Amino acid sequence: MGIRLVPDNINIDFIKKRFIFFGLSTFILVAALVMGLTKGINWGIDFKGGFMINMRMSNDMNINSLREKFTELKLGDVSFKEVGNTKDVMVTIEKQPGDENAQMTALTRIKEALGEGVEYRSIDTVGPKASEELLTNGTIAIILCLLAMLGYVAIRFQWRFGVCAIFSLIHDALFVMAFYVFTGLEFNMPAILAILITIGYSINDTVVIYDRIRENLAKFKKLEIPELINLSMNETLSRTTITSGTTLLSLIFLYFFGGEVIASYSLPILMGIIVGTFSSICLSGPLLVYFDIRALPKEVEGFKPGVNEN
């Protein structure tokens, strides 16, 4: 007997509650849009340009004294992250006004201010052209991923399922971006990775639910569509909660015990898994009531169209 986190006879009316789910998602996304337009997104060095210094501080220096020295230099937006032990620090500095010489001058000022005893392990720079290319390539990667998922679901099931699935996936991608807006975390290349991971995870749960819906369409020929979708979603709920729960457990351990750098990467992915699970259950399934999903391919051909809604 397998492990179950929900009772076998559970019967949640997802279809009846769909407007609550739709309204909640819409409210959060609109709030994120308003906040993004007013406050803006905290673009990281990958997209706005600048340089990143991986250094080991001298014995007589700590993170507070390092922060004071950079404040005196007045280099604009500067962030600090401890990497490993308390002496290893990753410093991110925004692009300085001017050309490449202005960036080199800023690096020289930093080295003079910090003095001897500081070990510079790596210095990475991102110019405006490179940052623009990264943003463009990241956007293209997300769009291509969404189109690939649309094609996959449309071929495996039918175009109606594909439309509902792609709507849910776009919702998930926007929600991850909204998370960056609300928290003020730097939106950089790992943010693109978090969006792609969320899309991949979400479509996996969605396909499981759609598979059960297709099976039940062949099994219950006279059952109304809202009832059939509810039945299918309740039947797969235990599997969905177990899969999401184990994944979230791993990410929670990474967040609390993986260090500051790992935590900043794992937190958006953790939120993405939660959002992806929500959309698979509360959006991708309920959206199907607005389509005639009994118009299926040959394997269940001949069924009479069901009633979409009461």
Fold of 50-126: Alpha-Beta Plaits (3.30.70)
Residue 97's pLDDT is what?
Answer: 79
pLDDT score for 119: 85
Residues 300, 218: contact at Cβ < 8 Å?
A: yes
Report the phi/psi class of residue 17: left, alpha or beta, with left for phi > 0 and alpha for psi in -120 to 50: alpha
State the pLDDT at residue 3: 57
Structural domain boundaries in the chain: 18-41+131-300, 50-126
Cα 29 to Cα 170, 181, 235, distances in angstroms: 11, 10, 30
Assigned fold of 18-41+131-300: Multidrug efflux transporter AcrB transmembrane fold (1.20.1640)
* Alpha carbon of residue 252 to chain centroid: 15
pLDDT < 70 positions in the chain: 1-8, 84, 128, 295-310
50-81 pLDDT, tens per residue? Answer: 888 888 887 777 778 888 888 888 887 777 87
Contact criterion met (CB below 8 Å) for 186 and 42: yes
For the chain, how many helices (H) and strands (E)?
A: 10, 4
Report CA Rg, the chain: 25
